Amino acid sequence: MLIIGILCLLVAVISYLRYVNEKQNNTNKNKEDSKNEAKWQRSLAIIFLILGLILIIYAIALHRF
């Protein structure tokens, strides 16, 4: 479960980096399309961050008790 939590955190980091990249590249594309893609990547990063933290905390709690 700890490994799955770490993988979720890695996906969150990758999604956040793609979000930052989309925000910087919004001048090359249509701004509305880039804005929607950036929002989607940010939402995905938040979801995986929360899921990863829950899994890691749960795995640590199970290991200690």
pLDDT of residue 31: 61
Distance CA(1)–CA(6), nearest Å, equals: 9
pLDDT of residue 28: 60
Measured in whole angstroms, the distance separating CA 37 from the mean position of its chain's CA atoms is 14
pLDDT tens, residue by residue, 6-65:
999 999 999 999 998 888 877 665 666 666 777 888 899 999 999 999 999 999 999 887
38-41 CB contacts, 8 Å cutoff, 24+ apart? 41/15, 41/16
pLDDT of residue 23: 81
pLDDT of residue 56: 94
Query: So where are the chain's domains?
Result: 1-64
Q: pTM, whole model, 2 decimals?
A: 0.79
